[in-house]
């Protein structure tokens, strides 16, 4: 295994599983986000002011899951400004490969290859409803061992350039585990955390 750090790569020949006819090679960015919505996301990320900057708050849970699943690689899916990877990189004893993906952030837009643990925090509530099934298939394809998911169930103070609340996909905490199971995941409870806010979010570990 290599030292922790962003940008680590794995051979493209080591392809992930095929999910519902899709493999790494068949996914295209436009399948995951529409061009018009991507433009709005890029605008928000260009002047974040708190947008996509809080991934670090889950670093302690991610470290626990790395140990639990003996993960040698972590992908932050929808990484925003990269706060999680920066926090994990501080730990010099860490020996996992860290990678990032976000279609709206420069330098992080290339579709990723798989990782043992995929982290997807405060992302899915931003996904267009007609793209959600494809995004979940993508997550399931990329995760070799598990996905750590955190999904907000309430509105945010941020608004899109078109005036909509930035949390465009709001569902309650009973809807998400059913949706994950429908997508083919086995849903498990997440480790306990003082950061958990059950009145405002759904948190789970998804086994592909």
Gyration radius of the chain over CA positions: 16
Q: Does residue 121 have a pLDDT over 80?
A: yes
Return d(Cα 60, Cα 39) in angstroms, integer.
Answer: 32
Question: Residue 8 — very low, low, confident or very high, per pLDDT cuts 50/70/90?
Answer: very low
Return phi, psi of residue 77, to 5°: -95, 115
User: How confident is the model at residue 12, as a pLDDT?
Assistant: 36
Q: Match domain 24-207 to its CATH number in 3.30.70.100, 3.65.10.10, 3.40.50.150, 3.20.20.70.
A: 3.40.50.150
Smallest Cα–Cα separation from 193: which of 63, 54, 50? 63
β-sheet with 115-121: strand ranges across: 97-101, 73-77, 115-121, 143-152, 201-207, 186-188
Mean pLDDT lowest among 6-15, 32-41, 87-96 = 6-15
Would you state the pLDDT for residue 24? 60
Q: What is the pLDDT of residues 43-81, one digit of tens each?
A: 999 887 778 888 999 999 999 999 999 999 999 999 999
Whole-number Å distance between alpha carbons of 139 and 31: 13
**pLDDT by residue (tens digit) across 20-33?**
555 566 788 899 99
Q: How many CA atoms lie within 13 A of 172 on its CB side?
A: 2
- Higher-confidence residue of 196 and 112: namely 112
SS (H, E, C) 66-106: HHHCCCCEEEEECCCCCHHHHHHHCCCCCCCEEEEECCCCC
pTM of the model: 0.88
Cα–Cα distances in Å, from 22 out to 26, 64, 140, 141?
6, 30, 11, 8
> pLDDT higher for 131 or 194?
131
Domain borders along the chain are 24-207
DSSP letters along 137-194, please?
Answer: HHHHHHEEEEEEEEEE-S--S-B-TTS-BS------TTHHHHHHHHTTPEEEPPPP-T
Whether the pLDDT of residue 13 is over 50: the answer is no
Q: Is the pLDDT of residue 10 over 50?
A: no
Q: Which residue from 77, 84, 82 is spatially nearest to 103, judged by alpha carbons?
A: 77
pLDDT at 19: 54
Q: Is the pLDDT of residue 196 over 90?
A: no
Task: Please state the separation of Cα 26 from the chain's center in Å.
Answer: 19
């Amino acid at each position: 295994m290599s030292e922790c750090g962003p940008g680590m790569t794995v051979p493209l020949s080591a392809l992930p599983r095929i999910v519902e006819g899709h493999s790494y090679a068949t996914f295209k960015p436009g399948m995951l986000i529409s061009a018009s919505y991507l433009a709005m996301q890029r605008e928000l990320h260009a002047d974040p002011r708190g947008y996509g900057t809080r991934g670090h708050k889950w670093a302690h849970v991610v470290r626990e899951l790395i140990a639990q699943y003996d993960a040698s690689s972590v992908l932050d899916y929808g990484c925003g400004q990269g706060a999680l990877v920066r926090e994990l990189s501080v730990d010099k004893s860490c020996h996992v490969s860290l990678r990032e993906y976000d279609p709206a952030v420069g330098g992080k837009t290339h579709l990723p290859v798989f990782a043992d643990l995929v982290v997807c925090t405060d992302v899915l509530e931003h996904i267009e409803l007609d793209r959600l099934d494809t995004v979940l298939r993508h997550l399931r394809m990329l995760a070799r061992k598990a996905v750590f998911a955190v999904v907000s169930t309430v509105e945010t103070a941020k608004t899109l350039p078109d005036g909509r609340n930035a949390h465009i996909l709001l569902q309650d905490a009973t809807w998400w585990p059913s949706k994950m199971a429908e997508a083919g995941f086995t849903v498990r409870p997440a480790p306990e955390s003082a950061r958990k806010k059950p009145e405002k979010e759904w948190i789970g570990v998804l086994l592909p």
